[in-house]
Each structure stands twice: as structure tokens, then as C-alpha cells.
Amino acid sequence: MRIAEIAPPWFTVPPRAYGGIELVVSFLADGLVARGHDVTLFAAAGSETKAELVSSAEHPPDSSLLGNVWFDTYHALHAYLRAEEFDVIHDHSGIVGPALGALLAGQPPVVHTVPGPWTESTRRYYSLIHERVHLVAISGAQRRDHEAMRFAATIHNGIDPQAYPFQPSKEDFLVYVGRANPDKGPTRAIEVARRAELPLAMIVKRSEPFERAYWEEIVVPMLTDDIEVYEGVSHDVKVDLLGRARAMIFPIDWPEPFGLVMIESMACGTPVITCPAGAAGEVVVDGVTGYLRETLDELVEAVAMVDRCDPAACRQRVEQSFTADAMVDAYDRLLSDVVARA
């Protein structure tokens, strides 16, 4: 198959630091090439891939411009104007790309992996396009949250366990990974670590204006000497911190559509203490690879007993259910089906 994979224009594939979508697209583009397909990847300049790379600009735009409609539109249009060269287009971009895809009337068919949770805006938008593009949910929770929407498949995200060294021996600190946004609960993570009397390593993304403001106004006043903050770290630094931590504290306060950092943590042998929201219950096995708890008290209690979760069980969970290989196989089947029916 001649496949176009469209990543967002903002970060390289794979990402140098933050970028869950870009990590998934990296596995997909390389994996589909390995399975014999002719893959063109539309992604930021500087991306590294086994596919043919096409970048709409010489450099990725500064991430402080995230959401600026010019870059999203230019990048997506740049790809869709070449639609006739492909048997199928697989689009991971935000909003403009799938809208362009909806106008193609199936020539070629367009598959769109829905990246985020449902809001009033996304419900209205996807209701215009769900019968014109093939939507993929990244979790059962995301799909169940809006059953009126037509989905072609549910395909969990996956990672390459080889890239996540297994670390069975733990040190006395917690780790948090997430955007500086109340959805991801950084202040609750700080509160849990304080009450559990453990140091906290925070790997944060705070590049967008709202994130910077939230970080400065809400999070900074809560920081103490026991908290180390990391930003823009490499993969190696991230997996080292993830592997050595006693647990990841991921006290989400939104319908997490998947939560890639949870499987990254488990792959390193580190259990995840999170809240029963969105896809968390599909990813974490309560009492085995971490804990799903609602309140601050319960989260603190979970930290106290997290040693009961076997690092090997965490690793095994990822190897059995969340590998990039399984994900690529599932997309390969879906794309083949969609092309056969076109």
C-alpha cells in the first residue's frame, strides 16, 4: 500500500522531548515500512524515519506558537494536495487535517486517530466528519464516552519495550510526567509526595502560554527543596528517572484518552498511582501494576503500599498488551481493510 502518515507540524518524529503523538507515529511509520508498505511521512523537519520524509517547513515552528492556525493549515494542506499519490491517508493532526480529509469523499480513504478527549467543541466537529473519515479511538474509554460517533476501530497506543530499560531496584522518590495543566494534576502530585514524605521528580512541559502561566502562578508557589523539576529532557534521562522511581504519581483530573506515560513507566518496571478516569483503568491493573484511587488520602495510602506491585508484572503488562508491534499490526489490518473496501 502507498500510505501517507501525517504527524502534527510542531515536534519531530520521534520527539526529542515532549510528544506522545510523535512517538506513536514514529513506530507506525517505521513499522509499516518494515511490513513492506510504501510510506510517506509528513512531519516536522529533522524527523528521523524509515519512511520518505516530507516537511512543509525548513524548521518546526516554535512550540510557543502551538495552536496557531497558519502552521496547522499549511502543513495539512501541503499533505492533502498530494492525496492522489496514496491508497490511504492516516492523519494524526489536530483539526484542520481531518476537515480536509472529509472533503476528499473517500478518494483516497482517510483514517484519523482521535488524539484527545471529548469536549463540546470536538463533539460538534467530529459529528460533521465521522461518516466521511475512518475514526480510530485510542482507548475503549474514549470510544464509550461518545457512542453516537462512528468509529472504525479501537487501537491502543504502543511502545517498543527495548527502548525502556527494565529497572527492578527502586529508590526513595516519586516521579511525575505531564503538561503544566490542571488536567494532569501536578499540584495533586506535589501534595501526595509531601504527605507521603518522599522527594518528587517532575518532568514537565510548559511551553504554551497557558501552561507557563499555570506553572508560574499555581505550581511554583508549591515547590520545595524536595522537588526537582525537569523540562525538555532526553529519552535517556526520562527512562532513567522513570526506572529508579518507587512509583509514578499521575493524579489526572480529566478523561485521559490513553496516557502514554503510564505504559512508559510500567515498561521500566515502575508502578503507576493514578485516578480512575478515562483510559487509566484499561492501562493500569489495580493492585498489580499500580493503583487507581480517587482521593488524596487514598493516593497517599497507595504510595505506602506500592512496593507490593512487582516491577516484573509492570514490565509484563506492557510486553503483553501495549507493544508498538501489536499496534502496528492492528493499524496494518485496518488500513488494508479500508483500502480493500474503497
Nearer to a copy of itself, 128 or 304 (CB): 128
Q: Could you say whether residue 124 binds a copy of itself (CB under 8 A)?
A: yes
Q: Could you say whether residue 54 binds a copy of itself (CB under 8 A)?
A: no
* DSSP β-bridge partners for residue 3: 39, 88
Considering only 63, 73, 187, 336, the residue that binds a copy of itself (CB under 8 A) is 73
* Beta-carbon count within 10 A of 340 CB: 7
Residue entry with cell 485521559: 256
Considering only 36, 59, 121, 217, the residue that binds a copy of itself (CB under 8 A) is 121
Q: Could you say whether residue 76 binds a copy of itself (CB under 8 A)?
A: yes
306 three-state secondary structure: helix
DSSP 172: S
Helices (H), the chain: 20-34, 69-80, 96-102, 120-129, 140-144, 186-195, 209-214, 235-244, 260-267, 280-283, 296-304, 311-321, 324-341
DSSP 63: G
Which range of residues in 99-107, 143-151, 184-192, 238-246 is near a copy of itself by CB under 8 A?
Answer: 99-107
Taking the complex as a whole, the smallest distance from the CB of residue 70 to a copy of itself amounts, in Å, to 5
Nearer to a copy of itself, 65 or 163 (CB): 65
Binding footprint of a copy of itself, residue count (CB under 8 A) = 27
Over the range 283-318, which residues count as b (16 or more CB within 10 Å of their CB) and which as e? bbbeeebbbbbeeeeebbbbbeebeebebebbbbbb
Considering only 18, 80, 86, 258, the residue that binds a copy of itself (CB under 8 A) is 80
Residues sharing a CB contact under 8 Å with residue 225, sequence separation 6 or more, in sequence order: none
Q: Could you say whether residue 99 binds a copy of itself (CB under 8 A)?
A: yes
Taking the complex as a whole, the smallest distance from the CB of residue 78 to a copy of itself amounts, in Å, to 7
Which range of residues in 98-106, 169-177, 231-239, 270-278 is near a copy of itself by CB under 8 A?
Answer: 98-106
Nearer to a copy of itself, 102 or 163 (CB): 102
Phi, psi of 147 (to 5 degrees): -70, -15
Nearer to a copy of itself, 127 or 224 (CB): 127
Q: Could you say whether residue 125 binds a copy of itself (CB under 8 A)?
A: yes
Which residues would be at the binding site for a copy of itself (CB under 8 A)?
Answer: 67-70, 72-74, 76-78, 80-81, 83, 94-96, 99-100, 102-104, 121-122, 124-125, 128-129
